[in-house]
């Protein structure tokens, strides 16, 4: 009886807290991703760390667009940082958080890098461009531009690492359903060799009626435990972005195709994950899996 009460209380907590956190995370990642993608698409191509004058020429060509792009990007990365923190909260409430807490801190660090960079580019560069003849760059900007571009790559890399940390937790099934099979907390007799003793702490599979009515595995993406994403897919989408940004820095002539090929899969992965969090169904508060009240 005490175990059943504990399960009900745990489901009630997860269904309200976990589901809300995942849904908030999904919206924040969606909004942040769309805004960041739109601002990146509208951003003039300024990817050569050794050509600061070209950046000032791009600002001078359309300063209003330049400011709007960087303000939009600022809102987008702020939403992304909050989104990864909400992912951690949802995983924590579901008992699945191992690495996503560090990922949330990396996302906050990325925002801390972005804020001064975007403030410089949105507020400072139009003034510098206005005071500088076309094709020229003041000495201070010659030194600041490589650091600014490198900072953007570092901040983006921190977001990708935050995604990898969350992906590690998202690859594990929700607590209480190892392998997607619902289990009961009743322990098997000590030393038992029966199949029912399999599972952590002697947890045994529930009978078909309690496991969902037909004995089949319940979809892992339902309930408050959050979605489950295969780790291999996540790493295949996210890992190429890290060396891709290094290549873009050292070989700016190929920066555009390299960044598209290596960063786009990770961005799409994050958007698809966000969409699953927004659209997934959750259990009603107070419902025990397989036995809604």
Higher pLDDT, 8 or 174: 174
Q: How confident is the model at residue 287 (pLDDT cuts 50, 70, 90)?
A: very low
Q: How confident is the model at residue 239 (pLDDT cuts 50, 70, 90)?
A: very high
Mean pLDDT, residues 77-99: 95
Burial of 48 (0-12, 13-18, 19+ CB in 10 A): middle
Percent of the chain with pLDDT over 90: 69
Q: Which residue has the higher pLDDT, 53 or 4?
A: 53
Once rounded to an integer, what is the mean pLDDT over residues 97-109? 97
Residue 179, pLDDT score:
52
**pLDDT at residue 281 in the model:** 60
Average pLDDT, the chain: 81
Is residue 184 classed as helix, strand or coil in its secondary structure?
Answer: strand
Q: What pLDDT sits at residue 280?
A: 77
Sequence-distant (6+) residues with CB within 8 A of 45 are: 256
In this prediction, residues 14-26 reach a mean pLDDT of 74
Residues 6+ apart with CB under 8 A from 186: 3, 203, 204
Q: Would you say residue 5 has pLDDT above 60?
A: no
- pLDDT-based confidence at 18, cuts 50/70/90? low
- CA 84, distance to chain mean position in Å, is 5
pTM comes to 0.76
Task: Flag whether pLDDT at 52 surpasses 50.
Answer: yes
Q: Where are the alpha helices (DSSP H) in the chain?
A: 2-13, 19-42, 52-61, 63-93, 100-119, 125-130, 139-170, 231-238, 241-250, 255-279
pLDDT at residue 160 is higher than 90: yes
Q: Which of 146, 129, 108 is nearest to 64 (CA)?
A: 129
Tens of pLDDT along 176-204?
Answer: 555 544 444 444 444 444 444 444 444 44
Q: Contact 36/268 with Cβ under 8 angstroms?
A: no
Residue 16 has pLDDT above 60, yes or no: no
DSSP 239-293: TTHHHHHHHHHH-GGGHHHHHHHHHHHHHHHHHHHHHHHHH---PPTTPBTTB--
- Over residues 24-44, the mean pLDDT reads 96
């Amino acid at each position: 009886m005490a175990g059943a009460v504990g399960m009900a209380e745990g489901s009630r907590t997860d269904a309200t807290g976990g589901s809300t956190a995942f849904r908030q995370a999904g919206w924040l990642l969606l909004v942040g991703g769309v805004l960041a993608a739109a601002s990146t698409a509208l951003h003039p191509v300024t990817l050569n760390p050794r050509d600061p004058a070209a950046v000032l020429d791009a600002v001078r060509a359309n300063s209003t667009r330049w400011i709007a792009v960087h303000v939009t990007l600022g809102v987008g990365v702020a939403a992304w940082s909050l989104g990864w923190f909400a992912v951690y909260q949802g995983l924590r409430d579901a008992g699945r958080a191992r690495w996503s807490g560090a990922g949330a801190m990396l996302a906050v660090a990325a925002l801390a890098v972005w804020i001064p960079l975007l403030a410089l580019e949105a507020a400072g560069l139009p003034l510098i461009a206005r005071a500088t003849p076309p094709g020229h760059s003041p000495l201070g900007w010659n030194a600041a531009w490589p650091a600014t571009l490198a900072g953007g790559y570092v901040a983006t890399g921190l977001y990708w690492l935050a995604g990898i940390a969350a992906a590690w937790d998202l690859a594990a099934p929700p607590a209480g359903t190892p392998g997607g099979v619902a289990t009961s907390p009743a322990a098997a007799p000590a030393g038992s060799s029966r199949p029912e003793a399999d599972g952590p702490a002697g947890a045994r599979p529930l009978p078909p009626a309690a496991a969902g009515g037909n004995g089949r595995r319940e979809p892992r993406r339902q309930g408050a435990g959050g979605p489950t994403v295969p780790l291999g897919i996540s790493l295949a989408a996210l890992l190429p972005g890290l060396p891709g940004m290094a290549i873009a820095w050292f070989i700016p002539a190929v920066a555009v195709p390299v960044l598209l090929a290596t960063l786009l899969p990770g961005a799409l992965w994050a958007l698809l994950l966000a969409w699953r969090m927004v659209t997934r169904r959750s259990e009603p508060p107070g419902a025990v899996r397989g036995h809604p009240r």
